[in-house]
Structure 1
């Protein structure tokens, strides 16, 4: 129908009960019809993982005018695949992941289940955005992010995104946001990633922790710098991982 409102499909990796996804629903409801399918518990760090060894089940939790909410036993990527092929009656106009409790800038984009949501949407030709806040607190304050979430989503609904390109949006944990910076992904790596936590005399148990080392901390173009200085960081991200600049040299090897 010509008068249909935009259809927005939402998921996350913190689980259906997380505050971040409730806030995201609140921020985006004025923009269109919302369908949510999110994991029934936390799936942080799941990236683009799929459930392939057992069936996946979903359950309707809520149905209001303009809002339908489901929970799913699978991963964030499962949620997008399952929603599109089982409960939606048309292709979504927008896929949104988040709002994640925790930073998904720099190399975190490769591990993030929130960005797994976005990657799945992007691979299927749907404009897709991931939103994250640099706070792991369950009761984190998302209010400052709200106007930016609406603005960015509205712009993408209006203008679309290039093929195989999505947006990774991160918010610093502050009430005083300085505005938006379009950024490159910070270059760096994680160190000191494991902390021992012995169990019943067995020393071979570890918690994943870690510290991120930014290789270019003074690079004002990267997302780490933007977040450290109070800006909303938008990193346009491509899901085509071909190293085009290396192709000619690699051909010369053979």
Structure 2
């Protein structure tokens, strides 16, 4: 007797809107390029990450807080698409950074394991339910968030899927990024972000100090550097004899006696 396997079930835990901590760029407008306008009729871009790690409730809260911090650095992800009608039946589109927020969904796939996604030859249909805003087109960014994240807990892992509008992120750049080496699941992404930010600041400070030392060494080797830097632009067009060597070379004369013509004698 063949026992039927349990049908995969997705159970929604919560759905919330994550906003940036502040609204400093609430009035900022980002106009779209012609390539962005071409992508408006198509569906939003979807990418996902699969991990052999089951997150805890505290880690889910960390992800919410990290997303809020990220939106502070990229305010357009928390904005909305705006459409304004112009003359002659024309429509102008732009992104308004009004901090409306991004969608964050927490769900559980009770009967799905990591092997159920990796072993089949084709992508299982249940994977479609791991992404938020399925079927939403880019032009619908006026009423939907431009970025939506869904964390789906599996029996022995987690799937993090995100749906992003083409007007805020190019699909080709995301595809190329997927080809690079991906890091392991980080249970504390905010702490990692702050540590890397501090390392970048220290590296930048060390680089500035090195540039200053190189400039000082160049000034010692060439004392006229500061004088050259203080010159006005018009002075560079005037010829000077200090910076140029002799360009006329007198050829050697291999003769000891010279014959003067009668015309030269009469001039003397």
TM-score range normalised by the length of the shorter chain: under 0.3
* TM superposition score normalised by structure 1: 0.23
Higher helix share: 2
Which one has the largest radius of gyration?
2
Return the structure number with greater relative CO, CA threshold 8 A, min gap 6.
2
Higher strand share: 1
